[in-house]
Amino acid sequence: MWLDVGLELPWLRPRPYFVDRRREAELTATVARMGFKVIEADVRADPETVEEDLLVELTRLLEFNELGAGSWAAFEDRLWDLLCEHDKPGVAVIIRGLDGLVGVDLYRLVRCVHKLVSMTEGVGLADAAASRQVEYFFVGEWGAS
């Protein structure tokens, strides 16, 4: 069953989900109450290593096989398995730290967010068996916009 996080969090803008830090506790409590398994990732916003750091952290937290951890290709391979576990609750991945890239390396920020969201959606669209819901929430100081 697909859960509509926008119904429970009316202030949430459409994907990708950027959440102001002051709303993090409300976000976490709400998605847990909705039945999601909550995964919280903290990432260092070092432009030189942010992609690898993010993927290694998510690989560890999602309990993926660590072979090739840190590469987008290996992460995508593991997503198939995660999304095909449709008998388990959806996953809400709360990611902190990427906001540190805003004034430093906007390209890397956009790349990380885009690849995570589009890769996950792509796996789900490519295989009807990949129906487990995975949502990413990027928490930080995003400003008023």
pLDDT tens digits for 99-140? Answer: 999 999 999 999 999 999 999 999 888 888 889 999 999 999
Query: Which of these, 122, 135, 101, lies nearest to 32 by C-alpha position?
Result: 135
Q: pLDDT tens digit string along 71-89?
A: 999 999 999 999 999 889 9
Using CA atoms, how far residue 115 sits from 45, 118, 122, in Å, is: 16, 5, 10
Whether residue 127 contacts residue 80, with contact meaning beta carbons closer than 8 Å, is answered with yes
Q: pLDDT tens digit string along 3-51?
A: 999 999 999 999 999 999 999 999 999 999 999 999 999 999 999 999 9
Query: Which of these, 66, 24, 47, 52, lies nearest to 115 by C-alpha position?
Result: 52
The per-residue pLDDT for 48 is 94
Burial code (b: 16+ CB inside 10 Å, e: under 16) for 31-45 equals: beebebebbebebeb
The alpha carbon of 20 is separated from its chain's Cα centroid by a whole number of angstroms, namely 15
Q: What is the CATH T-level fold of the domain 16-138, as seen in this structure?
A: Barnase; Chain D (3.30.370)
pTM for the complete prediction? 0.95
- Report d(CA 108, CA 41) in Å as an integer: 17
The per-residue pLDDT for 144 is 60
The per-residue pLDDT for 127 is 84
Query: Does 60 have pLDDT greater than 90?
Result: yes
The per-residue pLDDT for 86 is 83
